[in-house]
Amino acid sequence: MIETATRPGRATAEAREHSEGVVARMIEERTAKLPSDLWLWAAIASMGVSLALQLKGKKDESLFIGQWAAPFLVLGVYNKLVKIAGSDHVHAS
Q: Do 25 and 9 touch, CB atoms closer than 8 A?
A: no
Q: Which long-range contacts (CB under 8 A, 24 or more apart) does 45-53 make?
A: 46/72
User: What is the model's pLDDT at position 54?
Assistant: 97
User: What is the model's pLDDT at position 80?
Assistant: 86
Task: Answer whether residue 88 shows pLDDT above 70.
Answer: no
* Domains of the chain by residue range: 2-89
Per-residue pLDDT of 36-85, as tens digits, reads 889 999 999 999 999 999 999 999 999 999 999 999 999 898 888 888 87
Q: What is the pTM of this model?
A: 0.65
Higher pLDDT, 45 or 92: 45
User: What is the model's pLDDT at position 45?
Assistant: 97
Q: Which of 7-11, 35-39, 45-49, 86-90 has the highest mean pLDDT?
A: 45-49
Q: Do 76 and 40 touch, CB atoms closer than 8 A?
A: yes
Sorted by sequence, the CB contacts under 8 Å of residue 43 that are 6+ apart come out as 68, 69, 70, 72, 73, 76
Task: Answer whether residue 20 shows pLDDT above 60.
Answer: yes
